[in-house]
Structure 1
Amino acid sequence: METGRMSVLLVEDDMSIAIVITAALESEGFEVTHCQTIEERDRLLSEQSFQAMVTDVMLPDGDGIETIGRVHSLRPDMPVLILSAQNTLDTAVRATDTGAFEYFPKPFDIDELARTVRQAAGGGQGHVPNGEEPMGDGLPLVGRSPAMQSVFRMITRVMRNDLTVLILGESGTGKELVAEAIHQLGNRRTGPFIAVNTAAIPAELIESELFGHEKGAFTGAVARHVGKFEQAAGGTLFLDEIGDMPQQAQTRLLRALQSGRIRRVGGRDEILLDVRIIAATNKDLEPEIAAGRFREDLYYRLNVVPIHMPPLRDRPEDIDALARHFLQHAVNEGLPRRQLTQEATDLLRRQPWRGNVRELKNFIYRLALLAREDAIDAESVLPLLASDRQGLEGGGRAGGDIAGAISQWLSDERPASGTIYATAMAAFERPLFAAVLAQTGGNQLRAAQALGINRNTLRKRLSELSLDPEEFARRS
């Protein structure tokens, strides 16, 4: 265990409660180990040292209070906090008689629990200099807001089954993190997690990427290629930006989901699928269905369990924890250790964060790099905020040259090897076309001439990129 990090054992059978408690404790700087039974609890205590333990009373293999004696024999100096839904005087007395540090009847205040755990585990030990609190290395989801607790509850409902999940939300809200959490907590955690950005793969190659191909299936197919479905066998296949998938590939995907089988391009044999499907999109798919760009039957196949990721503007109470989380990650990547003053945090909470959590992360990294003092105050934050707003309003001119932008983009997005060109083109086209349409006042003919491409090609790409020329005409 790293110096300064405090470790807590959480014994809780209700996974919905466990996820919320874990998120709260990790945002306070704890490393959380979770188990669900007394037997597993005792094994962990005999093998590891913890600064505190949080346990429920009713566990699958016994009573958490009655077995506290074994806990004290294994770790006599470790404080214990007891949770219980049996909110009776008898339970409270039994918990107190065990010498528990604190007793929390359900429902309890999650912030109060986190503070009490820190008091129990701390005693001055594990305190990090300069007031900085490291974040946990568990699941990457951070947030205690009601909106995020709803997400946590949905995760607990799908993790023990293989139902198809559709994650909806704006770009930068953390849809892939939710997919990873479902995989890590589910029955397929020992299998691979394969993520595919379906918008980044050229239309003519997407079927080969997903389903594989046989040698000689098409020009350039010099060997058999195993697709993402087969690579994810026994695990989870995450189809990101599913709303941008080409129509032909949508048809093949629907057939695979209906039959539970795939066939490689150019192949004859059918391959039985053993994979969980999680899809995500930043688009509202119902208008896409109405416009004929997305298959309605595929939508209902994917939308078995929808999970809506809230935009950051709807969860401002999470910005403090997210900022500290990113400051710690910045340290891990070699940037100076920083902390935010309360005034700086309050300022961040008032921002719109159109790029959501991804924008906040990049901003915090820039703060960590450029700040002159270890304690970042509001006066240090304001110039960077002004620069970012100016860059957005001025078409990005304040952001530096193209080479710098590309370097930053590669660092932020980290596209998979073999997909960098296609991913970059998909990311580059939309702002490019938007800038040219803004210059031409939405006139597609003049925009096509300026770009040096065919007008029909421009019209097709604008439709695929969900860019409306009329919007630019209205602005002009």
Structure 2
Amino acid sequence: MSNGTVLVADDDAAIRTVVSQALSRAGYDVRVTSNAATLWRWVAAGEGDAVVSDVVMPDDNLFDLLPRMKKLRPDLPVIVMSAQNTFMTAIRATEKGAYEYLPKPFDLVELTGIVGRSLTELKRKGSGDGVSPDDAGEAMPLVGRSPAMQDIYRVLARMIQSDLTVLINGESGTGKELVARALHEYGKRKNGPFVAINMAAIPRDLIESELFGHEKGAFTGATSRSTGRFEQAENGTLFLDEIGDMPMDAQTRLLRVLQQGEYMTVGGRTPIRTNVRIVAATNKDLRALISQGLFREDLYYRLNVVPLRIPPLRERLEDIGDLVSHFLAKVHDEGLEAKRILPDALELMRRYDWPGNVRELENLIRRLAALYPQDEITAEIVASELRSSEGAGGGGEGAQGAIAAGDMSIAQAVEVNMQRYFASFGEALPPPGLYHRVLAEMEYPLIMAALTATRGNQIRAADVLGLNRNTLRKKIKDLGVTVIKG
């Protein structure tokens, strides 16, 4: 007995054959065609229970045909196959009403599973009005065709028309904010504001005021009422970057917002209703922080409704070519001379580990475009730049020979990371107060590292740090450092 009839359309005879065989073995009747006209004739005649189709065919584009198919037969599930494996292809498939998007090459077992689900699940309601990418040259918010990126595209395509809270996890420099912006700019809140706040870049005692705002006289220096990021993001998206650095008090207040949809300003007495979508991100293991008592477990589950992991660049090295082309075009648009990366130089990049991830790659391309007059960038040039990057982050003697080796290593590490921090703002500059903010933010990891190295022995840690023991004890209390004795 047949499980249903599937219409398969693809101009590649080999793909028609393998898809037809796989679906036939799964118990479906299969009809195949190489063109869009025949597919439309079958659909218009009421034939088929599901469609599996390529996007580009000799006589038409499936994305032009899909609206007519959905208008005539709104419950007909259409599974889209495409070799144009970009973020916009996944978004367009969702926008046009496709049931699922599969990048080529795909797993046949996965395809038959999707067809089975499409015939048993309720059809997803509507396609919304989130995006209308009508031209082939639209800007790409995310770049890469690797399987890891395809998984991200498919999740994002499903999530853009919802208000579900998303928790993005990934190393620094992987593009977590880009993903958050894509969720906003291609979703139903695109006409509202996108507001980002980095928990690691704000002094811990100011985070609540930054998030929720404060009333006049709420604390010393509060000479007037100030709006917080929640108010600024009303009807839009609030991106909470490095959520793992949020203090416990602020976590409690954030939990209230997620549970009850309201908050109070610092010093305020009247609850304020809020309508924002929360997207959070972290480069830390929140479960480990929970076990250390540094992150609320109930808040974690409120944030982790839709988890999304952004892979480090070393896990998707096949995307290097696309990323390099993207960044070369970007710097050219900004006024720098066009460059060409030679194949051997590109191959060298694919063998590099990229500890700074996509941000490090973009910074490299900017340096190559700015510092080298040659039209063609060779492997020797790339190798020299990569060696300089590795040397900048390591220890050893350098030009500042008067500084001790240990201090030299710390100075270099701070310099490299601050350069990356400034680069993350693009043409803009960081918020005011950076000097005191950096000094304040360095205290916590510095004291934690000293305590870890001394197995929680505060006398030895104070000696390493050059602090009085009572001073260290007070800082441990004020900063909320967890002392683990071992």
Question: In the TM superposition, what are the counterparts of 1:166-185 in structure 2 within 5 Å?
Answer: 166-185=167-186
How far apart in 1 are the matches of 2:436 and 2:279? 22
Inter-CA distance 305–405: structure 2 relative to 1 (3 Å threshold): closer
CA offset digits 1:193-241 (Å, max 9, x no partner):
0000012221221111111111111221111111110110010000000
Give SS of 1:196's match.
strand
**Would you say 1:59 and 2:60 are equivalent positions?**
no
The residue identity in structure 2 corresponding to 1:324 is S
Partner of 1:355: 356
Deviating more after overlay: 370-379 vs 152-161 = 370-379
Contiguous gaps of at least 5 residues in structure 2: 1-58, 72-77, 82-100, 107-135, 400-410
Question: In the TM superposition, what are the counterparts of 1:77-476 in structure 2 within 5 Å?
Answer: 109=104, 138-394=139-395, 409-413=421-425, 414=428, 416-418=430-432, 420-421=434-435, 424-425=438-439, 444-449=461-466, 454-456=471-473
The residue identity in structure 2 corresponding to 1:167 is I
How far apart in 2 are the matches of 1:302 and 1:165? 7
Deviating more after overlay: 169-178 vs 209-218 = 209-218
CA offset digits 1:406-428 (Å, max 9, x no partner):
56643434555346446544666
Aligned length: 359
Contiguous gaps of at least 5 residues in structure 1: 1-51, 65-83, 88-105, 112-134, 471-476
How far apart in 2 are the matches of 1:469 and 1:334? 56
Aligned residues of 1:440 and 1:447 also touching (Cα < 8 A): no
How far apart in 2 are the matches of 1:291 and 1:404? 30
Give SS of 2:308's match.
strand
Give SS of 1:191's match.
coil
The residue identity in structure 2 corresponding to 1:417 is P
Ranked by relative contact order (alpha carbons within 8 Å, sequence separation 6 or more), the top structure is 1
CA offset digits 1:22-47 (Å, max 9, x no partner):
xxxxxxxxxxxxxxxxxxxxxxxxxx
How far apart in 1 are the matches of 2:172 and 2:433? 19
How far apart in 1 are the matches of 2:66 and 2:375? 45
Aligned residues of 2:173 and 2:360 also touching (Cα < 8 A): yes
Inter-CA distance 458–349: structure 2 relative to 1 (3 Å threshold): farther
Deviating more after overlay: 325-334 vs 336-345 = 325-334
CA offset digits 1:366-393 (Å, max 9, x no partner):
2222324111010111111112222222
The residue identity in structure 2 corresponding to 1:219 is T
The residue identity in structure 2 corresponding to 1:448 is L
Compare CA radii of gyration and give the structure with the larger one: 2
Q: CA RMSD in A?
A: 3.9
Inter-CA distance 310–255: structure 2 relative to 1 (3 Å threshold): same
How far apart in 1 are the matches of 2:62 and 2:274? 39
The residue identity in structure 1 corresponding to 2:324 is A
Partner of 1:70: none
Inter-CA distance 179–86: structure 2 relative to 1 (3 Å threshold): closer
Partner of 2:22: none
Q: TM-score, with normalisation over the residues of structure 1? A: 0.66
Aligned residues of 1:444 and 1:469 also touching (Cα < 8 A): no
Aligned residues of 1:159 and 1:182 also touching (Cα < 8 A): yes
Give SS of 2:197's match.
strand
Q: TM-score, with normalisation over the residues of structure 2? A: 0.64
Aligned residues of 2:452 and 2:484 also touching (Cα < 8 A): no
Aligned residues of 1:236 and 1:275 also touching (Cα < 8 A): yes
The residue identity in structure 2 corresponding to 1:254 is L
Deviating more after overlay: 286-295 vs 453-462 = 453-462
Q: How much does 1:185 deviate? A: 1.0
Aligned residues of 2:243 and 2:280 also touching (Cα < 8 A): yes
Deviating more after overlay: 204-213 vs 281-290 = 204-213
Inter-CA distance 241–369: structure 2 relative to 1 (3 Å threshold): same
The residue identity in structure 1 corresponding to 2:473 is N
Q: How much does 1:321 deviate? A: 1.1
CA offset digits 1:257-281 (Å, max 9, x no partner):
1110011111121111110000000
